[in-house]
Amino acid sequence: MGGILMTLVALSLCLTGCGAAKTATTTAPITRQQTRTDPDSEYTVVPSAAASVRLETYECADFSMTIPSGWQVETGGSGMFYSIRVYDPSEPLNQMFVLNKADLLLHGEDGKRAWQSLADMGEGSAAVFAAAPVLYNPSTEGFFQQFSEYASFVSAVESSYAGFEFPSFDGFTATEQFPSTSSLSSVALGDSLLRATFTADGRTGEGMFAASVVDFGSIEIADGTVSGYTLNAADGGYYSVYNIVAVTAAEGSLIDWEGVLTGCMATLEFSDSFVSATNQASNEQVAACAKISQNFNEAMDGIMSSWEARNTSQDIMSQKQSDATLGFERVYNTETGEVYQATSGFTDTYDGTLLAPVTDDNMYAQPVAGRIERLD
């Protein structure tokens, strides 16, 4: 086995610009030359899915962005209610999601009942309000806790979402909160950047989330009897939610995917024609909400800085538990610093010099570059 017999595939985050689809991937050999008698030549590294991903530029009339090759892009809604979901068909928990605005989240049950009474009287638009969910906890966390309820509502009442499948964030549980960086934070309620876990189709995912909840005030519905229907005084007001962003991965793999996903999301650019048409069609009470690209960039900047500021003890503990469950131990490349998984017991028999067991717990908070395997 002469020459360099062990190679690693290193992710290139050289993000491509607009235009035809391009791929970006590089292969970097281990730096030390190996000889036929070198024990390290008996092993190779199988790159992780995140480390070996290839990137390409996706472009349509509304936006362009860099995405992992082979991932599915789906869009729904229009104008301020436009939504983008990019996901791995083989692992849908690995995804990027953007929704510019969610609307009509009611203040309370009394208002919902009052709108239903108006709908029963034949008041046209009242039926939409009556169908809207009540946002019990007006905050970033509260919105995502009820996201599936909102998705069901808006899919039923808004035809522009026909065929679009919103992601599921069932059982949404925030595990860490960070201060919001949104320009809407001065008017938003419970505005935070969140790290959280959730379930979708019975499987657990984890991710970083942003959303700004804005109260658009009360709509007073007065007491009275109309056409035999009784109306009780109620607040029929509602909240709107802006700058909804999520990057998620299967449980235990967010460490590996976060850099890829946020790197891709940071390249999202709405076209001038889309922004112009949306701003002209929009009649917002909060002027800043029309600054689509600016608000999205603020959300992404916040997510990336929050990830860097996270409490890594959560990652260290979960990665150790995962290794123990799956029968792995961790080693690192003494020349490159890259971290790999190896079958438990690997270091008991390994007599090479290139790999060493992980002794610094902080290495468990680094992405796994790949898995060590013995060559046949």
Residue 30: pLDDT over 70: no
pTM over cut 0.85: no
Tell me the helix, strand and coil percentages in the chain, rounded to 5.
Answer: 30, 35, 35
Q: Comparing 227 with 277, which gets the higher pLDDT?
A: 277
Q: Which range, 114-118, 170-174, 186-190, 319-323, is most confident?
A: 170-174
User: Which pLDDT value is given to residue 355?
Assistant: 93
Q: Which H or E run includes 115? A: helix 109-120
Cα distances from 110 to residues 188, 231, 289, in angstroms, run: 23, 10, 28
pLDDT band at 376 (very low <50, low <70, confident <90, very high): low
Tell me the domain boundaries of the chain: 1-47+311-376, 70-310
| Mean pLDDT in residue range 95-100 | 96
Identify the CA nearest to 213 among candidates 131, 99, 305, 101: 101
Token pair recorded at residue 372: 């060590």
Tell me the CA distances in angstroms from 375 to 42, 214, 354, 372, one per residue in order.
5, 58, 16, 10
- In Å, what is the CA distance from 342 to each residue of 4, 44, 312, 322, 330? 20, 11, 22, 13, 6
Task: Give the per-residue pLDDT at 120.
Answer: 84
Closest alpha carbon to 368 in 341, 328, 333: 341
pLDDT of residue 18: 32
Determine the average pLDDT of the residues in 99-104: 94
The 10s digit of each residue's pLDDT in 313-329 is 989 999 999 999 999 99
One-letter amino acid identity for 266? Answer: A
Q: What percent of the chain has pLDDT over 70?
A: 82
Query: For residues 232 and 106, what is the distance between their CA atoms, to the nearest angstrom?
Result: 16
* Type of residue numbered 191: D
Segment (H or E) for 350 = none
Radius of gyration (Cα) for the chain, nearest Å?
25
Beta strands in 30-169 (DSSP E): 43-47, 55-59, 63-68, 72-76, 83-88, 91-106
Average pLDDT over all residues of the chain: 84
φ and ψ at residue 148, rounded to 5 degrees? -60, -35
- pLDDT computed for residue 42 by the predictor: 78
Residue of 165, 139, 136 lying closest to 152 (CA atoms):
165
Residues 6+ apart with CB under 8 A from 308: none
Among the listed residues 242, 291, 284, the one whose alpha carbon sits nearest the alpha carbon of residue 270: 291
Q: Are 211 and 245 in contact, with CB atoms under 8 Å apart?
A: yes
Q: The tokens of 70 are what?
A: 């082979």
Name the 3-class secondary structure at 303: helix
State the pairing for strand pair 339-343/368-374.
parallel
Q: What is the pLDDT of residue 184?
A: 85
Predicted local distance difference test score (pLDDT) of residue 229: 53
